[in-house]
Amino acid sequence: MNHPHFVGALSRNVIKHILRKSGMRYLSDSEEAEATTYMGQAANIAKSASCDRHKCGSVIVNNGKIIGRGFNSPPAGLEEQRRCSYPKESYNKKVTDKTCCMHAEQRAIMDALRNNPDKLRGSSIYFTRLGKDGSTARSGKPYCTICSKMSLDAGIKEFILWHEEGICAYAADEYNTLSYQYKE
Ligand SMILES: [Zn+2]
Ligand SMILES: [Zn+2]
């Protein structure tokens, strides 16, 4: 028996299912242009970062408006809390967060929670890091489970990174899953 209509419907559903399962997508056209602007704003904010390892910036956008901003620096801006030069191996395994500074995304989420708490749901978070020359560096694969968890829990819809291949939007739950699956 051959049912071409049935097979066609089935494969379309399979394709839809796969697309739903892998929510990540590279942006194009006006979406890409808009994202490039927000990446530029995140890069501008990154200039205020004081971490000795990397300068990072993040903005959260909802409905065309920036609702949260952040850059990385020691917690509460306290110099005595700076751990940028501590080797990660020096911490006990029970210390779950071995990064040195507050992350730009954590700061942006807290900023949004303080100032625009009702706008977080359905928003997009952009992250960028400055290269040595001050330009916007391209990001690797998602790996920061601190920020992936916080973003998902705060109701953020999408996490946006600028990869070599282009600007990529991940569904927040997918971003969290991928971060936990990260392998170097
Ligand atoms: Zn640092
Ligand atoms: Zn992070």
How many angstroms separate the alpha carbon of residue 59 from the centre of ligand 1?
19
> What pLDDT is attached to residue 17?
54
pLDDT above 60: residue 19: no
Q: Which ligand is nearest to the CA of 142?
A: 2
Q: Which ligand is nearest to the CA of 127?
A: 2
Can you tell me the mean pLDDT for 38-61? Answer: 97
Which residues, including other chains, have CB under 8 Å from residue 4's CB and lie 6 or more apart?
none
Can you tell me the mean pLDDT for 85-107? Answer: 95
pLDDT above 70: residue 4: no
> What pLDDT is attached to residue 133?
85
pTM: 0.87
Which residues, including other chains, have CB under 8 Å from residue 25's CB and lie 6 or more apart?
168, 169
